[in-house]
Amino acid sequence: MKRIVVKVGSNVLTRDNGTLDTTRVSSLTDQIQALRKRGIEVILVTSGAVACGRSLAKAAPGLDEVQQRQLYAAVGQVRLMDQYYRLFADYGINVGQILTMKKNFEGTEEYNNQRNCMEGMLESGILPIVNENDAVSITELMFTDNDELSGLVATMMGADTLIILSNIDGIYNGDPSLEGSRVIERVSHEEDLSAYISAKHSSAGRGGMQTKYEMARRLAASGVRVIIANGKRDAVLLKLAEAPESIIHTEIR
């Protein structure tokens, strides 16, 4: 691994009551710091703004659903970045925030601008932290979810690996809730696992395994290795980097 994108889902970052899981954020910060120390360039794509904002603020009764989501995103994004800022600052690492939108990946100018910005940050030792600009990006302007966004960022930045951390261990060869189902360790993008994958969506975020898998397959076909693992497991990033056989996950090549 030389340059990686780590995507963390809302379910990993929030507790059951919806508040930000500061213990988890702290552990991920420690691990990202350790990866950087080993010379790996990391770009973090983080969800959790909307979930976090929802646990903090109460929208006025007259607001429609879209306005509520915008408000929660705006409030939650600050909370999220505040947490990352403080924890990385303890290691002397500066973080920078990139809020982006789908259309920024469609034209050349914005595309180049955001890439140059992140390249400059990496060169300067600053950790880019990316999320969708959820306060502005609504309905048809939105990415399918942050999994799609993380795939686009990995391609744009020429990352060799994308690690998607959610609250499940990987892609199962059957219904994950059934005994006997197990996580598929390695799969080629040429194989089609669609039949195994449930269409269920995440409870806190927008993503699901189906979109993760479709994106992972496309990305793997273009030469980026994709790893799907459980962000709630101890030292998941360190294990994936150092002893991948010691942690359950799915690798798509």
By CB under 6 A, tell whether 146 contacts ligand GLU: yes
Round to whole Å and give the CA distance between 199 and 245: 28
Cα-to-chain-centroid distance, residue 109: 24
Round to whole Å and give the CA distance between 44 and 5: 6
Considering the complex, state which of residue 40 and residue 207 has its C-beta at the smaller distance from ligand GLU. Answer: 207
Q: Which of 21, 41, 132, 169 binds ligand GLU (CB under 6 A)?
A: 132
Min CB(145)–ligand GLU separation in Å: 3
By CB under 6 A, tell whether 129 contacts ligand GLU: no
Distances (CA, A) of 70 to 65, 135, 215: 9, 4, 26
Please report which helix (H) or strand (E) contains residue 230, including its range: strand 225-230
Min CB(206)–ligand GLU separation in Å: 4
209 with 198: CB under 8 angstroms? yes
Min CB(11)–ligand GLU separation in Å: 9
Chain residues 168-207 in contact with ligand GLU, contact rule CB under 6 A: 205-207
Cα-to-chain-centroid distance, residue 211: 13
Residue type, 146: N
By CB under 6 A, tell whether 10 contacts ligand GLU: yes
Residue tagged 């197990």 (tokens): 182
How many residues make up the chain in this entry? 253
Q: What is the DSSP letter of 90?
A: T
By CB under 6 A, tell whether 35 contacts ligand GLU: no
By CB under 6 A, tell whether 167 contacts ligand GLU: no
x-or-dash pattern for ligand GLU, window 75-114, by CB under 6 A? Answer: ----------------------------------------
Min CB(143)–ligand GLU separation in Å: 7
148 with 217: CB under 8 angstroms? no
Q: Which stretch binds ligand GLU (CB under 6 A): 26-34, 126-134, 160-168, 180-188?
A: 126-134
Min CB(13)–ligand GLU separation in Å: 9
By CB under 6 A, tell whether 50 contacts ligand GLU: yes
Q: Please state, as a whole number, how many other Cβ atoms lie within 10 Å of the Cβ of residue 90.
A: 11
Q: Which residues contact 123 (CB under 8 A, 6 or more apart)?
A: none
| Inter-axis angle of helices 209-221 and 146-156, nearest 10 | 10
By CB under 6 A, tell whether 137 contacts ligand GLU: no
Considering the complex, state which of residue 134 and residue 251 has its C-beta at the smaller distance from ligand GLU. Answer: 134
By CB under 6 A, tell whether 165 contacts ligand GLU: no
By CB under 6 A, tell whether 21 contacts ligand GLU: no
Q: Which residues bind ligand GLU (CB under 6 A)?
A: 10, 47-51, 131-132, 134, 145-146, 205-207
